[in-house]
Chains A and B, each alone.
Chain A
Amino acid sequence: EVQLVESGGGLVQPGGSLRLSCAASGFTFSRYWMSWYRQAPGKGLEWVANIKEDGSDKYYVDSVKGRFTISRDNAENSVYLQMNSLRVGDTAVYYCTRDNNYASDSWGQGTLVTVSS
């Protein structure tokens, strides 16, 4: 059974940093692209970033470019999202997903990031 478990969320002040982690199990992690999504309170889904199987390609939504960095450790079956210069508008539940067949076919339960002073 595919499992994705996010961690690392919490309350942070504007301008601060957080590192989200996603631990994957139940599949061969190194064979899949992985993505991060977010959903602000009461709002829709927003794709944030993705990373190729070997980490050689990464893509980001414009609003986080230069502030967020996606990475992965295939030996640890984990994907990460380093978030710097956080803004109030980054407040959201962040989801980790496995990508397959041009879609995100497995989702974690999400971790809440709150940016507030």
Chain B
Amino acid sequence: QSVLTQPPSVSAAPGQKVTISCSGSSSNIGSNYVSWYQQLPGTAPKLLMYENNKRPSGIPDRFSGSKSGTSATLGITGLQTGDEADYYCGTWDGSLSAGVFGGGTKLTVL
């Protein structure tokens, strides 16, 4: 059981937009920055978004992040088949003094 809650799967057609939600509590998302990671099949995770809504260099602006209260959202526009991957949200939990992650969301581009 993950501390952060993500939908197990989302899907959309190529070219469309999808959002992935990440829900937490006041001790984690509510008081710390959220980061997002993309894990393509058979590879190590890659940082997609940090400090809620900042993209590392090389990440296209089709990817966006936002946070409101104890929830965060990753948005992906102009979906491509190459975006098919597992996506994870993560943050620090001040009560646990530990990093916490969501269970991951599998994106299928139909």
Residues of A within 8 A of B (CB): 35, 37, 44-47, 50, 59-62, 95, 100-110
Residue contact B100 to A108, C-beta cutoff 8 Å: no
Q: Which of A35, A50, A95, A101 contacts B50 (CB 8 A)?
A: A101
Considering only residues 88-109 of chain B, those with a C-beta below 8 Å from chain A are 88, 90-92, 96-104
Residue in B46, B51, B99 whose CB lies within 8 Å of A47 = B99
A-B pairs, 9 with minimum CB distance:
A47-B99, A103-B35, A103-B50, A44-B104, A102-B33, A107-B44, A44-B103, A105-B47, A101-B50
> Please, which residues of chain B bring their CB within 8 A of the CB of A102?
32-33, 35, 50-51, 91-92
B30 at the interface (CB under 8 A from A): no
Residues of A within 8 Å of B51, CB to CB, are: 101-103
Contacts of B102 in A (CB 8 A): 44
Interface size, B (range): 20 to 34
In whole angstroms, what is the CA distance A100 to B97 when docked? Answer: 17
Q: Choose from B44, B90, B91 the contact partner of A95 (Cβ within 8 Å).
A: B44
Task: Count how many pairs of residues, one from A and one from B, have CB atoms less than 8 Å apart in the complex.
Answer: 67
A47 touches B100 (CB 8 A): yes
Q: A102-B32, A102-B35 are in contact. Are A35 and B99 (CB under 8 A)?
A: yes
Q: Does B14 contact A (CB under 8 A)?
A: no
Given contacts A44-B104, A104-B90, 13 further A-B contacts (CB under 8 A): A37-B45, A44-B2, A45-B45, A46-B101, A47-B101, A60-B98, A61-B98, A95-B44, A95-B45, A102-B35, A103-B47, A105-B56, A107-B45
Can you spell out 9 A-B residue pairs with CB atoms less than 8 angstroms apart?
A44-B86, A44-B88, A45-B45, A45-B88, A45-B101, A47-B90, A102-B33, A102-B91, A103-B51
Contacts of B37 in A (CB 8 A): 45, 104
Bound form: Cα–Cα A103–B88 in Å: 12
List of B residues within 8 angstroms of A60 by Cβ? 98
Contacts of B33 in A (CB 8 A): 101-103
